[in-house]
Structure 1
Amino acid sequence: MSTQVRLAPSILAADFSRLGEEVKNVCDAGADWVHLDVMDGHFVPNISFGPAVIQSLRPYTDKVFDCHLMIAPADPYLEAFAKAGCDYITVHAEAGPHLHRSLQTIRALGKKAGVSLNPATPLSAIEHVMDDLDLILIMSVNPGFGGQKYIPAMTDKIRMAKSLIGDRPIHLEVDGGITAETAPIATAAGADVLVAGSAIFKGTSVDDYRKTVDTLRKAAEEAVARS
């Protein structure tokens, strides 16, 4: 997998009263992917949005829609999110008993399949589904709330996940507490996709977002160059 660092702003931190404009602005500011945090109030404490909202956002950009399903069960809704325009659909290893089936379903829908691990979930949970993965998402905070601080112990987990991936074409994504200070830590450990919400959605304009996107990208890529 390429060592290029991709930035995936989480629209959870955007202004929901003008969400389409926010998606367009952050993409114009240089975002590579758009991260869509779907929360059900059951698997995680909060409720965010569903496939109808994602479908309404799809016309605002042709960039990758990176959908992170923090819902349980996920399987009954995979087709709806695929039809809404998601490119990557990531399910949690903890959200259902048949992870392999979930990943196969996502791929059968013509989408890229991802799996996410909560901080306390070991990498052994995904050792036997690696051939069905396009993305691994390491949660560096406990999911459900924005603005949390990066858990330092996750750096070793990122490094071990990178080793587990080996030469497979699998993206390694990190979500939670990503700032100009922690982005270099995550990318030096092997991450190539960084999710950031509150660190990017500062201000209200394309220029404001471009400054934060550029700052994060520079910090992350310098760490990759040094590693």
Structure 2
Amino acid sequence: MIKIAPSILSADFSKLGEEIKSLDKCKVDLVHIDVMDGSFVPNISFGIPIIKSIRHLTKIPFDVHLMIEEPARYVKDFVDAGADIITVHFEADRHLDRTVDYIKSLGVKASVALNPATLVDNVKYLIPKLDMILIMSVNPGFGGQKYIEYCDSKIKYVKELADKYNKDLMIEVDGGITKDNIARVVRKGANVIVAGSSVFRGETIEDNIRILREEF
């Protein structure tokens, strides 16, 4: 089953509650929440208070993507705020194996993200214990960027490793996903698709999600 995970980084923050309710109505699979610290990535987004404030609006699992330095320091706070999946970056954590174990010990799913130029083999030995790998298909920090084509081969390679070591692994792709490339990304092996601008811009949220779903 292919999951759609709208990224609320592209939502209208002046009516965030309404947008969350629209996602709930569309029965999306995950709500993707990008947390940025202005250090690991050149942007600042939102944090724990925002997640707490919207948690009661939906039962859709919160897919919290920590684009922050030293993420292990804040994992429990985000779990307490309502996260169901915690993603930390390979590039931001010096003790990744320990952090993955810590996330799982808190009763939520553990995920590791890789920036576009980061080799998949850096996390090969973690695959058996991970719930998800996030392949960044743009350089993290901003929405609305164009998909980086060489990420196709990374997705395919992660799928090969998942078939060998962890058939339950979710393979998430984030960045530049549109109706024109979503089918190709799914064919390469992705089964969780993050979409920001493609969901929250242009047509209604409901129409945009329907259009994406019709492509795979």
State the TM-score, normalizing by the size of structure 1. 0.92
2:75 matches 1:86: no
User: What is the CA–CA distance in structure 1 between the aligned matches of 2:214 and 2:202, rounded to whole Å?
Assistant: 19
User: What is the CA–CA distance in structure 1 between the aligned matches of 2:29 and 2:75, rounded to whole Å?
Assistant: 23
1:43 corresponds to which of 27, 35, 40? 40
Q: How does 1:45-124 map onto structure 2 within 5 Å?
A: 45-124=42-121
Q: How does 1:199-218 map onto structure 2 within 5 Å?
A: 199-202=198-201, 208-218=204-214
CA contact (8 A) 1:36 1:65 kept: yes
User: What is the CA–CA distance in structure 1 between the aligned matches of 2:167 and 2:48, rounded to whole Å?
Assistant: 30
- Structure 2 counterpart of 1:195: 194
Q: CA deviation at 1:203?
A: 5.0
What amino acid maps onto 1:30 in structure 2? K
- Structure 2 counterpart of 1:128: 125
1:5 corresponds to which of 2, 5, 17? 2
CA contact (8 A) 1:30 1:213 kept: no
Give a deviation string over 1:81-128, Cα, whole Å, max 9, x none: 000111000000000110001101100111100000000000111011
- Structure 2 counterpart of 1:224: none
Q: CA deviation at 1:30?
A: 3.4
Identity %: 49
User: What is the CA–CA distance in structure 1 between the aligned matches of 2:19 and 2:206, rounded to whole Å?
Assistant: 12
User: What is the CA–CA distance in structure 2 between the aligned matches of 1:189 and 1:73, rounded to whole Å?
Assistant: 31
CA contact (8 A) 1:100 1:132 kept: no
Give a deviation string over 1:156-186, Cα, whole Å, max 9, x none: 1100000011153110000000000111111
User: What is the CA–CA distance in structure 1 between the aligned matches of 2:181 and 2:99, rounded to whole Å?
Assistant: 31
User: What is the CA–CA distance in structure 1 between the aligned matches of 2:115 and 2:26, rounded to whole Å?
Assistant: 30
User: What is the CA–CA distance in structure 1 between the aligned matches of 2:48 and 2:152, rounded to whole Å?
Assistant: 32
Q: CA deviation at 1:29?
A: 2.3
> How many residues are paired up?
214
Q: CA deviation at 1:9?
A: 0.4
Q: CA-atom RMSD, angstroms?
A: 1.1
Q: How does 1:16-27 map onto structure 2 within 5 Å?
A: 16-27=13-24
User: What is the CA–CA distance in structure 1 between the aligned matches of 2:202 and 2:24, rounded to whole Å?
Assistant: 15
State the TM-score, normalizing by the size of structure 2. 0.96
- Structure 1 counterpart of 2:171: 172
Q: CA deviation at 1:210?
A: 1.2
1:163 corresponds to which of 160, 163, 166? 160
Secondary structure of the structure 2 residue equivalent to 1:31: coil
What amino acid maps onto 1:49 in structure 2? F
Show structure 2 runs of 5+ residues with no match: none
What amino acid maps onto 2:27 in structure 1? G
